[in-house]
Amino acid sequence: MSLALSVGLLVAAGTFLLLQRGMIRIILGFVLLTHAVNLLIISAGGIARRDAPFIGGDTSMAADPLPQAFVLTAIVIAFAITVVMATLAVVSRGDDDDTESETQTDEDSDSVSKRGESA
């Protein structure tokens, strides 16, 4: 049940962030969703047996290796997609990503200088 709740929590948070405007929130939402899905795939193999699937010792309590292989692949692909999305966040201007509509406090405006204008 803890695992199911974890999946639910990650999905809820991921969905919320994915539905906001602005690429960074969307990326973070995507990252959380991939965590949720990866946990779900692992749990599809069953969570009663929790030993690492190494051959050599007793494998009667070893976890199902196949979902693990799937998830391993999925993590790396998710990383690749995250990186591509991240680059998209910095190539457009005047949108939700590079504007703050919150009024900045004095301290903020003090510490944030102008954007780099170098070539």
Partner 1 sequence: MTLSTLLFSTLALAGVTMLATRFLGRNAGWLAAVGLGSLAAIVGFRVPEILGDGNLSAIRETTPWMPTLDISLGLRLDGLSALFLIIVLGVGALVMAYSARYMSGRNVHPHTGYFAWMLLFAFAMTGLVLSDDLILLFVFWELTTLCSFFLINRSGDKASAPAVRTLLVTAMGGLSLLLAVVLIVVRTETTVISEALASDVWAEDAGFTAGISVLVAIAAMTKSAQFPFHMWLPDAMVAPTPVSAYLHAAAMVKAGIYLLLLFSPAMAETPFWQILLMSTGLFTAVMGAIFAMRRFDLKEIMAYSTVSQLGLIVALIGVGTPSALATATLYTLGHALFKASLFMVVGIIDRQAGTRDIRILQGLWKQMPVTFVTTLLAGLSMAGVFPFLGFISKEYLLGKILSTGDAAWVGAILVAIAVFASATTFAYTARILFGAFSNYRGSNREVEQDHDHSMNETVVEAKPSFYLSALIPALLGLILGPAIAVLHPLTGAAGSAAAASAYEASFKLFGGFTVELMLSLSIYALGILAVTQRRSLDTFFERRYLGFQAIDVVEAIRLGLIKVGTRFGDTTRTDRPLGHLAAPWVIVAVLTVVSLVTVSNLGNLVSTEQPWTDLIWLGLLAVTVIPAVFTKFRLVALILVGAAGFIVALWFFSLGAVDVGMTQLLVELLTVVALVLILRRLPKLFHTVSKTRQLLTGLIAISVGAVATLATFAFTGRREFSDVGQYFLDEAYIDTGGNNVVNTILVDYRALDTFGELTVIAVAGIVVIGILRSRKVLGEITPDISKWSNTALGRTVDNTLPVRMVAKWAAPLIILLSFHLFFRGHYEAGGGFIAALVGATGFGLAYLGATSDSKAPVRWPYRGLLASGVIVAVLSGVWGFAVGSFLKPVRFDIPLPWGGEYGFTSAMVFDLGVYLAVLAIIIAVLNELGGVRETEKEPRSFAGPVLVAKEFSAELESQSSKISASVGTKELHGSDDEPGLNVTSEGGNR
Site for partner 1 in 89-118 (CB under 8 A): 89-93, 96-102, 104, 108, 110-113, 115-118
Between 5 and 106, name the residue whose CB sits nearer to partner 1: 5
Residue 45 contacts by C-beta under 8 Å, 6 or more apart in sequence?
63, 64, 66, 67, 68
Q: How many residues bind partner 1 (CB under 8 A)?
A: 95
Query: Which of the residues 39 through 58 are near partner 1 (CB under 8 A)?
Result: 39-40, 42-56
**How does DSSP classify residue 48?**
S
Cβ of 55: how many Cβ atoms within 10 Å?
7
Phi/psi of residue 62, nearest 5 degrees: -70, 145
Query: Which of the residues 4 through 33 are near partner 1 (CB under 8 A)?
Result: 4-13, 15-22, 24-28, 31-32
